[in-house]
Amino acid sequence: MSDLGVHPAAEIFPLMDGAEFDALVADIREHGLRDPIILIDGLILDGRNRYRACVESGVQPSTVEWCGSGTPEAFVVSKNLHRRHLTESQRAMIAGRIADARSGERTDLVQINTRSPVTATKAADMLAVSRPQVFHAKTVLQHGTPEEIASVDRGEAAVSTVATRVRKRATEAKSKPDDAPPVQRGIKVKLQPNKNMEETAREMLRLNEDEGISVVSLTEQFNMSQSTVSQILDIIAIATRDDLPQVETEIATKAVDLMNETRQPGAAYAMIAAISERLWGPAGTRRSKRAAIERARGEQFERAYGALTQACMAAAIIDVPHIDSARSAEVFRELKKATESVSVLREKIMKVWKS
């Protein structure tokens, strides 16, 4: 049996392991290989797991050469997305690997053959996940440990949970010992002509929030005005949230796309200005107060949640008049269920808010 290599595009999806792979080996051992291995230039494009199972079971694999249209990456996604039972977090990691890829560039595992960038929006659509999930995945891929990346790839951990941990670790790392080298400031970063503005914006937000570099220092590093930097930070900060109403999420997505297209954040910021003001107050004064405002919103939600829970609990113990005991017990069960639903809702909201 010849030893076949693997095309980089085939590595977008994680390998099968455990019981899932064992079941595939058993099926091929009993029934043979049903679908041939698809090759491109002698490398496996589709069928890595089937090939491994053939090797494991001693079955000679059949192969065919790929002659489809489009890119190898799009073909791999279309072939695997429906046949693999992947969690949303696993799909987000795949989207994170192909987002922002350009022709001739290698992003993580994938050699991209398209002429234009694969935007976060396009990657999210391809893998049926939200844009914020793609941003969470890119955080894990770029700054997570190999173990953290593998845990999400295997479906053992949620990408948002791991991304939150990674960001928290980066924030705590700001408190460096006295002998640690200081963060370099004042070094100008030249914005390349073909650089995706969205990619630049994410880097600026990371420097601002994770490494504590001020807006003023960012203006020096990226050779932009303070108002432009503030606009870019607001645009990408809103676009990466997943606790906004759908209509605002759509506006933020369009704003990022416009910023990428025109490379001028002014018009894009105008689209999200109202959202920004609702979240953080009037422009020009909120930047240094953003964390405090977010904290206040969280505390306000906690107070409202507490009041709602107490109301449900209080109502549940009231002896309701004019109804029999059976109906009273049913009302009690409904109120108890309502209290539990509120608690579950709180956990979901707090998870999004803290991420």
Domain ranges of the chain: 5-160, 182-285, 290-354
What single DSSP character describes residue 67? -
pLDDT tens-place string over residues 233-254:
889 888 887 778 888 888 988 8
Is residue 355 classed as helix, strand or coil in its secondary structure? coil
- pLDDT of 19 reads 85
DSSP string across 246-276: HHHHHHHHHHHHHHHHHS-HHHHHHHHHHHH
Please compute the mean of the pLDDT values over residues 228-236 and round it to a whole number.
88
- Give the pair of three-digit tokens for residue 331: 């009302």
Dist CA 288 CA 75 (whole Å): 46
The pTM score is 0.50
* Cβ neighbours for 80, distance < 8 A, ≥ 6 positions apart: 12, 13, 46
- pLDDT of 43 reads 92
Which carries the bigger pLDDT value, residue 273 or residue 132?
273
**353 contacts 295 by C-beta, under 8 angstroms:** no
Tell me, what amino acid is at 25?
V
Tell me, what amino acid is at 21?
F
Dist CA 337 CA 342 (whole Å): 9
Name the range with the highest mean pLDDT among 19-33, 60-74, 110-124. 19-33
Spell 163-179 as b/e; 16+ CB within 10 A means b.
Answer: bbbbbeeeeeeeeeeee
Please compute the mean of the pLDDT values over residues 36-63 and round it to a whole number.
91
What single DSSP character describes residue 329? H
Please compute the mean of the pLDDT values over residues 252-257 and round it to a whole number.
88
Alpha helices in the chain (DSSP H): 18-31, 48-57, 72-81, 88-98, 120-127, 131-143, 146-153, 159-172, 197-209, 215-222, 226-239, 246-262, 265-280, 290-316, 325-354
pLDDT tens-place string over residues 270-328:
999 999 888 877 765 555 455 555 556 666 666 666 666 666 656 655 555 566 666 66
If you average pLDDT over every residue of the chain, what do you get?
76
Dist CA 87 CA 129 (whole Å): 10
Beta strands 43-46 and 5-6 are: parallel
- pLDDT of 215 reads 79
Q: Is the pLDDT of residue 189 over 80?
A: no
- pLDDT of 263 reads 84
Q: Is the pLDDT of residue 50 over 90?
A: yes
Name the range with the highest mean pLDDT among 34-38, 99-103, 208-212, 217-221. 34-38
What single DSSP character describes residue 37? E
